[in-house]
Amino acid sequence: MNEKTKIYINPLTANNIKLLLLCNALGIQPEFQHVAINRGKQRQEAFLALNPDGKVPVLQQGDLVLTESNAIMQYLASSHQSSLWPQGIEQQAKVLRILFWQSNYFTAGVGPIAHRKVVLPYWGVGEPEVDKQQWQAFDKAVSALENILDGSSYLVGNELSIADISLLAFFLFHKRANMPLKDYPKLQNWLANLADHDWYISTESYLNEILTN
């Protein structure tokens, strides 16, 4: 990749954490430009020119401006010839299935937990209650993930892919948020395996440093 890669992110939120995890896993260091979404910077004219939706992440590389975290992951993994975007149409379709499922279904159940219990308090805007309905949605989403996991270490085939990273990002703060995961043994194994990798450990310590400053 010759042109400089810049990624606009807010490092604490799940769709953005995906890119921190991925870049560490790929061993690449794009320029990260932080966008303070807690202060409305995503709604300023300059940012809206990049993404009219007013959302991070956004990748910019030469003339290419790419929104949607999962598309950005596919682009980065693929352009670095990484097996995180696997070869073979069947494996690719299986990865895409997880990415769409995460975006259309999983996020609504799991995303709000760490956001309310970790991110919003850090931003100093209180700790809105996670109500019964939200916990039910959480349980439904993690049960569905437990059913997808077949006991192996990765979601698709025998190798790490962007499918794993897409879901893993939602669990990075699972301890801080006290996410109840004890009834989901396959999920716990999958998490423990991924949390052992250097790229996970360095992402986690980077985020811990932000949260403790």
Ligand X SMILES: N[C@@H](CCC(=O)N[C@@H](CS)C(=O)NCC(=O)O)C(=O)O
Instruction: Say whether residue 56 binds ligand X (CB under 6 A).
Output: yes
Q: Which of the ranges 68-76, 142-150, 191-199, 205-213 carries the binding residues for ligand X, by CB under 6 A?
A: 68-76
Q: Which residue has the tokens 């956001």?
A: 115
CA 200 to chain centre: 12
CA distances from 203 to 5, 125, 191, 195, 197 (A): 19, 24, 14, 10, 10
Q: Is-cis flag, bond preceding 57, omega within 30?
A: yes
Instruction: Say whether residue 42 binds ligand X (CB under 6 A).
Output: yes
Q: Which residue has the tokens 């004890």?
A: 182
Q: Which is nearer to ligand X, 38 or 202 (CB)?
A: 38
Q: Which of residues 89-118 bind ligand X (CB under 6 A)?
A: 103
Q: Which is nearer to ligand X, 57 or 109 (CB)?
A: 57
Question: Can you tell me the distance from the alpha carbon of 63 to that of 154, in angstroms, rounded to the nearest whole number?
Answer: 35
Question: Can you tell me the distance from the alpha carbon of 68 to that of 76, in angstroms, rounded to the nearest whole number?
Answer: 12
Q: What is the DSSP letter of 106?
A: I
C-beta of 55: minimal distance to ligand X in Å? 4
Q: Which is nearer to ligand X, 69 or 74 (CB)?
A: 69
In terms of phi and psi (left: phi > 0; alpha: psi -120 to 50; beta: otherwise), the region of 167 is: alpha
Q: Which is nearer to ligand X, 107 or 193 (CB)?
A: 107
Q: What is the DSSP letter of 169?
A: G
**50, containing H or E segment:** helix 45-50
C-beta of 35: minimal distance to ligand X in Å? 8
* Binder among 5, 24, 61, 69 for ligand X (CB under 6 A): 69
Q: Which is nearer to ligand X, 56 or 160 (CB)?
A: 56
Q: Which of the ranges 67-75, 85-93, 157-165, 191-199 carries the binding residues for ligand X, by CB under 6 A?
A: 67-75
* Interaction site with ligand X (CB under 6 A): 10, 13-16, 37, 42, 54-57, 68-70, 103
